C-alpha cells in the first residue's frame, strides 16, 4: 500500500511520456509506431518494479469494472454454491472478479440488488431471475449489458440463458416411476409460475396423461421454512393415502419431504417411491439412496461463463451482442428409492 508507483512515475523514471508508457502497457504500442527499443525498455522496467496500474483510474476512464455479478437465489444452496465454485476460476483467469448475492427469490430485494450493481457498473450479470423483474432485465438488455439468466428465464425476453429441459427430464422421471409399477404419483412443487417449475409440472402432467393415471399435486409457497414443508407433505400424504410415490421438484423440497416420509413411518421404496430434483450428497448418502434428476452443473457453469465472456468481447468490439439460448438435458440417476413398491400380500 506504500510507495505505490503511478504511470507518471514510470514515465518520469524512463524519461518518456505517460502516453508512451500507457500505449506500451496496453499493447497498442506497435500500432502507434513506438519503437521496439522503447517497448522493451518499458516492459522490462515495469516488470522490475512490479508496477500495478490503478484499477479505479482505469475504470473511471473506460467505464469497465472488470466485475461480474452472480445473483443466485441462495448462495448457500448446494446447487448454487457449486455453480459459484465452477464459474470462479475461469472468470478470474479472464481478469474478472465475481461478486455474489442471494435474491431469496424476492423481486423487491432483487431490484434493489440490481440497482446497487448498476451503481457499481458491473460489466456483466449471471442471474436466477425472480418473478416480477422482467422490466429490470429488459432494461439491462436494452442497454446492451452482457447478461445470462439461468435455472429459469423469461419466455418473452430475448436474453441469453442456460436452462435444462425441465419438461422432458421430469417426464422421464415420472415415466420411470410408472415403469417401476407406481400408479399414484404425487408431485410436490413450489407455488410458482417460473419456467423451471412450470416445465417440471408440465412433464408430470404429460407423463400421467399419457398413461391415464391420476394426478396429485401439492404446491408449497416460496420461502417456506423446512418445518412448514415437512408438515405440508405429511398432510398431503394423510389426505391422499393412496399415493405410492412422490416427485419433489427441488432439492430442499426433497429434503423436507424425506423427513415427512420418515415421520409417517413409510418405507422407501416399498410404501412410497421417491425422486427428487437436483443431486446432492444428502440424496447420495441417504438410506435408501434417492433417485434424482441430476442437472449437469459443470456444463451449466461452463456455458454460463463462456457465453458471458463472449458477450463481453463482443461488447468490447462494439459488435452486436449475441444472446445464446441454451437448453441442456438433465440425467435421471436411478437409485434405490424408486425401485418399485411392495407387492400387495
Partner DNA sequence: AAGCTACGCTAAATCGTTTTAGCATGTTTT
Partner DNA sequence: AAAACATGCTAAAACGATTTAGCGTAGCTT
Contacting positions for its own copies (CB under 8 A)? 1-2, 52-57, 59-60, 63, 65, 67, 74-76, 78, 81-82, 84-86, 88, 92, 97-102, 113, 116, 118-121, 143-145, 255, 258-259, 280-282, 285-287
> Considering the complex, what minimum distance in angstroms separates the CB of residue 113 from DNA?
20
Cis peptide, bond prior to residue 16, ω within 30 of zero: no
**CA 340 from chain center: how many Å?**
33
Is position 211 an interface residue for DNA (rule: CB under 7 A)? no
> Considering the complex, what minimum distance in angstroms separates the CB of residue 317 from DNA?
13
Between helix 7-14 and helix 18-25 the angle, nearest 10°, is 110
Identify which range of 53-61, 76-84, 199-207, 285-293 contacts DNA by CB under 7 A. 53-61
Is position 37 an interface residue for DNA (rule: CB under 7 A)? yes
- Please report the sign of the dihedral spanned by the C-alpha atoms of residue 175, residue 181, residue 187, residue 188: negative
Q: Which is nearer to its own copies, 2 or 33 (CB)?
A: 2
**CA 53 from chain center: how many Å?**
33
> Considering the complex, what minimum distance in angstroms separates the CB of residue 37 from DNA?
6
Q: Which of the listed partners (DNA, its own copies, none) does 205 bind, with a CB threshold of 5 to 8 Å by partner kind?
A: none
Is position 35 an interface residue for DNA (rule: CB under 7 A)? yes
> Considering the complex, what minimum distance in angstroms separates the CB of residue 108 from DNA?
25
Decide if 295 contacts 164 (C-beta within 8 A).
yes
Is position 62 an interface residue for DNA (rule: CB under 7 A)? yes
Is position 28 an interface residue for DNA (rule: CB under 7 A)? yes
The closest of 76, 74, 78, 98 to 88, measured between CA atoms, is 98
Q: Which is nearer to DNA, 11 or 326 (CB)?
A: 11
Say whether 143 sits in a helix, a strand or coil.
coil
Q: What are phi and psi of 143, to 5 degrees?
A: -90, 15
> Which grid cell is 229?
414443508
Which residue carries 413450489 as its cell?
A: 190
Amino acid at each position: 500500500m506504500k510507495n505505490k508507483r503511478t504511470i507518471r512515475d514510470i514515465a518520469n523514471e524512463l524519461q518518456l511520456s505517460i502516453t508512451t508508457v500507457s500505449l506500451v502497457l496496453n499493447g497498442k504500442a506497435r500500432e502507434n509506431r513506438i519503437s521496439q527499443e522503447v517497448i522493451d525498455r518499458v516492459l522490462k522496467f515495469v516488470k522490475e518494479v512490479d508496477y500495478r496500474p490503478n484499477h479505479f483510474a482505469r475504470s473511471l476512464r473506460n467505464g469497465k469494472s472488470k466485475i461480474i455479478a452472480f445473483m443466485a437465489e441462495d448462495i448457500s444452496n448446494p446447487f448454487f454454491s457449486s455453480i459459484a465454485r465452477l464459474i470462479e476460476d475461469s472468470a478470474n483467469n479472464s481478469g474478472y472478479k465475481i461478486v455474489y448475492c442471494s435474491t431469496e427469490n424476492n423481486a423487491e430485494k432483487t431490484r434493489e440488488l440490481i440497482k446497487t450493481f448498476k451503481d457499481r457498473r458491473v460489466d456483466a450479470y449471471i442471474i436466477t431471475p425472480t418473478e416480477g423483474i422482467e422490466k429490470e432485465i429488459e432494461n439491462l438488455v436494452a442497454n446492451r449489458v452482457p447478461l445470462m439468466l439461468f435455472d429459469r428465464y423469461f419466455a418473452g425476453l430475448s436474453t441469453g440463458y442456460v436452462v435444462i429441459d425441465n419438461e422432458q427430464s421430469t417426464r422421464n422421471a415420472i415415466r420411470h416411476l410408472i415403469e417401476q409399477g407406481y400408479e399414484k404419483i404425487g408431485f410436490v412443487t413450489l407455488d410458482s409460475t417460473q419456467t423451471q417449475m412450470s416445465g417440471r409440472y408440465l412433464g408430470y402432467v404429460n407423463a400421467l396423461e399419457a398413461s391415464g393415471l391420476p394426478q396429485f399435486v401439492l404446491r408449497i409457497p416460496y420461502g417456506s421454512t423446512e418445518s412448514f414443508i415437512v408438515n405440508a407433505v405429511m398432510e398431503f400424504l394423510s389426505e391422499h393415502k393412496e399415493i405410492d410415490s412422490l416427485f419433489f421438484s427441488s432439492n430442499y423440497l426433497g429434503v423436507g419431504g424425506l423427513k415427512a416420509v420418515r415421520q409417517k413411518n413409510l418405507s422407501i421404496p416399498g410404501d412410497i417411491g421417491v425422486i427428487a430434483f437436483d443431486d446432492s450428497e444428502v440424496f447420495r448418502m441417504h438410506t435408501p439412496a434417492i433417485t434424482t434428476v441430476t442437472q449437469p452443473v459443470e456444463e451449466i457453469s461452463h456455458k454460463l461463463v463462456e457465453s458471458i465472456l463472449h458477450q463481453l468481447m463482443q461488447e468490447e468490439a462494439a459488435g452486436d451482442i449475441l444472446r445464446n439460448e441454451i437448453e441442456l438435458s438433465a440425467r435421471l440417476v436411478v437409485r434405490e428409492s424408486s425401485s418399485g413398491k411392495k407387492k400387495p400380500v
